[in-house]
């Protein structure tokens, strides 16, 4: 049992650390060009292990908030004075990076769902449906849908049975979660999500890889442009 619990907690801690660091960048505590403290100091400051620090920093590097250079440490990425590179909301990334994030997530999840439709097992389907039902319940009860939504997409990643793709998805978990949080701020953000998820599940369960990919593509594109517009409006 402990072998199952420890990794889950580690992921949750990494998300919390990434959130704290993003907030420090957004409020100016950490400025462009500032060097982050070394790993041992961060471990002591946040009272976590090395893997949590590396996962959090890796997530921030993925969305361009920090740069990691061997032998030079980790630095807050520079932002120019123009609006295209000013911090945008909690994501703290510019227009180019927001669109790159949308593109990267779309391509990654399409690749994942294609394989999931071919390799899914009955236990995978049960787990995917379980996460879908948790999300439905959260929306009905007006609770935060973020954890359930992320768990749903992660369960599909697990169903592709490709450890490299699963790792890629987990590396993107923090920016995806931040994206979902932004979506939850708007009334239209989750208005069609249940129907979209049901289409994805049906295609995976039927083994229809092209239909599953199209369902994921439709799902992610449905709100992506409105989300980009909303994020840029927060500048």
Over residues 143-176, the pLDDT tens digits come to: 989 899 999 999 999 999 999 999 889 888 877 8
Long-range contacts of 96-105 (CB under 8 A, 24+ apart): 97/63, 97/64, 98/228, 98/231, 98/232, 99/228, 101/63, 101/175, 101/179, 102/220, 102/224, 102/227, 102/228, 104/172, 105/172, 105/176, 105/179, 105/220
Give yes or no for residue 178 having a pLDDT over 70. yes
Residues 216 and 146 reside in one and the same domain: yes
What are the φ/ψ torsions at residue 92 (nearest 5 degrees)? 60, 30
pLDDT-based confidence at residue 10 (cuts at 50, 70, 90): very low
Residues 21 and 74 reside in one and the same domain: yes
Its sign, for the CA torsion 155, 156, 161, 163, is negative
Residues 120 and 217 reside in one and the same domain: yes
Residues 59 and 112 reside in one and the same domain: no
Residues 101 and 206 reside in one and the same domain: yes
Residue 108 belongs to domain with CATH number: 1.20.120.530
Residues 102 and 180 reside in one and the same domain: yes
pLDDT tens for 14-29 read 878 888 888 888 778 8
Determine, yes or no, domain membership for 85. Answer: no
Instruction: Give me the domain span that covers residue 9.
Output: 2-78
Determine, yes or no, domain membership for 89. Answer: no
Residues 58 and 99 reside in one and the same domain: no
Determine, yes or no, domain membership for 187. Answer: yes
Residues 64 and 143 reside in one and the same domain: no
95 neighbors 84 (Cβ within 8 angstroms): yes
Tokens of 141: 């009860």
The Cα–Cα gap between 145 and 183 comes to 10
Determine, yes or no, domain membership for 159. Answer: yes
The single residue listed with the structure tokens 């994805």 is 200
Determine, yes or no, domain membership for 83. Answer: no
The single residue listed with the structure tokens 């390799």 is 119
116 neighbors 202 (Cβ within 8 angstroms): no
Residues 58 and 134 reside in one and the same domain: no
pLDDT tens for 27-70 read 788 888 999 999 999 999 999 998 889 888 887 887 778 888 88
Query: How many CA atoms, within 13 angstroms, populate the side-chain half-sphere of residue 135?
Result: 26
Determine, yes or no, domain membership for 143. Answer: yes
Residues 6+ apart with CB under 8 A from 131: 148, 151, 152, 154, 155
Determine, yes or no, domain membership for 21. Answer: yes
pTM of the model: 0.69
Residues 214 and 152 reside in one and the same domain: yes
Determine, yes or no, domain membership for 58. Answer: yes
């Amino acid at each position: 049992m402990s072998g199952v619990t420890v990794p889950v907690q580690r992921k949750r801690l990494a998300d919390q650390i990434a959130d704290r660091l993003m907030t420090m960048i957004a409020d100016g505590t950490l400025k462009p060009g500032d060097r982050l403290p070394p790993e041992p100091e961060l471990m002591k400051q946040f009272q976590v292990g090395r893997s949590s620090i590396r996962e959090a920093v890796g997530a921030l590097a993925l969305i361009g908030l920090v740069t990691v250079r061997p032998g030079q440490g980790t630095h807050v990425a520079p932002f120019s004075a123009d609006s295209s590179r000013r911090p945008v909301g909690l994501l703290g990334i510019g227009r180019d990076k927001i669109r790159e994030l949308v593109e990267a997530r779309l391509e990654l999840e399409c690749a994942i769902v294609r394989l999931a439709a071919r390799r899914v097992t009955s236990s995978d389907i049960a787990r995917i449906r379980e996460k879908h039902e948790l999300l439905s319940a959260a929306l009905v009860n007006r609770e935060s849908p973020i954890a359930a939504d992320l768990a749903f997409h992660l369960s599909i990643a697990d169903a592709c049975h490709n450890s490299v793709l699963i790792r890629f998805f987990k590396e993107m978990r923090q920016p995806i979660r931040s994206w979902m949080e932004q979506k939850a701020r708007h009334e239209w953000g989750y208005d069609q999500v249940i129907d979209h998820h049901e289409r994805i599940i049906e295609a995976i369960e039927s083994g229809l890889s092209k239909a599953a990919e199209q369902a994921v593509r439709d799902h992610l594109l449905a709100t992506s442009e409105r989300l980009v517009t909303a994020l840029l409006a927060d500048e």
